[in-house]
Structure 1
Amino acid sequence: MKLIIEWAYKTPNGAETIFQSKDMSAEKALLFSKDLERTGRTKHIRFIDEYESYWTLKELNTYLNEIETEPHNVTVYFDGGFDVSTNKSGLGCVIYYTQSGKSFRLRKNASSIEHRSNNEAEYAALYLGIEELEQLKVHHLPVQFIGDSQVVINQLSDEWSVVEKVLSAWADQVEEKLNQLGIQPEYKLVQRKQNAEADRLATQSLNGIDITATSELAKE
């Protein structure tokens, strides 16, 4: 979850103004807010999330304590590839998340002969990522989904209408599963080079290499 800190600042002569920070993770927002409080000149600290809802310091502390042992700060990269010569699709997803104060990366790929286009493979790769979130027991959290498919990202962001029946069915399936898990999606379109991990997993699947792996990431 990304938050903006909003706080009132009072000078020694009594003048007051309101400041807002740039958006940051909830953990970092809590850290900065505690430091601001120590100045003795800050009051009325509150936090604004992506949906323009306001949080008090007490509410944020409670939320972070509740999710500490569950996966959170979740980002999903996805990519699908389709080989027209074999009618085989390769799906790849990479999930970054935080749990119990540690950072993890999950990599997963799969292949299928059920799809008929690259766009359908891209939707299937996204759905693969959502299924992995369900296995991780991710629920009732904002999650960022990142891919290089203009079709999938723009259709799910309601930038483009979904005309093809097959893709419409995939979009409905994605939204139904997200609603079931209580996940609030944020979709981000990137260039292929920024989606290299998921792209490589999809290609490896097309080449018959199956990968399922979770690793802890070193702290920065």
Structure 2
Amino acid sequence: MKFKIKWDYYNKNKTETNFISEWIKDDVLLEIAEDLEKTGRVKNMSFEDETGISWTKKEVKKVLQRLEQEPDEFLLYFDASYNKETDETGIGVVLYYKQGAQQYRERWNERVEGLKSNNEAEYCALHYAVKRLGEFPIAGKKVIIKGDSQGLLMQLRGEWPCYEENLNRWLDRIERLVKKLNFHPVYEPINRNDNKEADKLARQALKQVMIESKQKLGDEE
């Protein structure tokens, strides 16, 4: 998680002004804050996280202690592979996250029947991915969600309309689930070449090659 430090500064003539830092990673946040305090010219220091919540120094220390134990810095990729001859869909999801000082990657896929289009398959894939996110302590945290379904992600950002009733129902399901899990999604469309991991998992699911894995990054698979 990243934070901004906000503080009031006063000089020897008691002239005051205020400052806001750039985003600072949690592992160096307190070190920087304490360096600022050592100047002896800082008042009213506070901390703002990526979701807009403000914390005192005492409160942010407790947040940082909790973050050392919980997964954080979530990055999720999703994709779908649709067979129009059989109405079968393969779903692929890749989740990266940090826990303490260690980075992890989890991969899942799923096979679904009865969807009616490639577009619907993409919406179903994201709904499945968000459901899997519910297995993690994500309440109040930011999750970056990437996929090559630009229309879907732009609709979730509120920047594009959706005119198909069936797809609107999927949007409603996704948004209800996000609200229930109480996390802060950041939707980022990407091109297909940047989504190869999730695409491969989706294609494997269509071939009934099912994957469910967790890997500590830096270890061999």
Does structure 2 retain, via aligned residues, the 8 Å contact 1:70–1:138? no
What is the aligned partner in structure 1 of residue 211 from structure 2? 211
Give secondary structure in 2 for the equivalent of 1:146: strand
Does structure 1 retain, via aligned residues, the 8 Å contact 2:51–2:141? no
Give secondary structure in 1 for the equivalent of 2:103: strand
Trace 1:124-203 onto structure 2 (pairs within 5 A). 124-203=124-203
Give secondary structure in 1 for the equivalent of 2:134: helix
What is the aligned partner in structure 2 of residue 112 from structure 1? 112
Q: Structure 1 stretches of 5 or more lacking a match?
A: none
1:15 is displaced (CA, Å) by 5.8
**Structure 2 letter corresponding to 1:123:** Y
Does structure 2 retain, via aligned residues, the 8 Å contact 1:8–1:19? yes
Trace 1:51-70 onto structure 2 (pairs within 5 A). 51-70=51-70
Determine what percentage of the aligned residue pairs are the same residue.
37
Question: Structure 1 residue 89 and structure 2 residue 89: aligned?
Answer: yes
Give secondary structure in 2 for the equivalent of 1:127: helix
Q: Structure 2 stretches of 5 or more lacking a match?
A: none
Q: Is 134-143 or 188-197 further displaced after alignment? A: 134-143
Give secondary structure in 2 for the equivalent of 1:60: helix
Instruction: Give the root-mean-square deviation of aligned CA atoms.
Output: 2.6
TM-score scaled by structure 2? 0.84
Distance of 1:52 and 1:135 partners within structure 2? 24
Matched residue pairs, number?
A: 219
Does structure 2 retain, via aligned residues, the 8 Å contact 1:71–1:97? yes
Distance of 1:62 and 1:43 partners within structure 2? 21
**Structure 2 letter corresponding to 1:116:** K
**Structure 2 letter corresponding to 1:159:** E
What is the aligned partner in structure 2 of residue 121 from structure 1? 121
Distance of 1:189 and 1:3 partners within structure 2? 25
1:16 is displaced (CA, Å) by 5.1
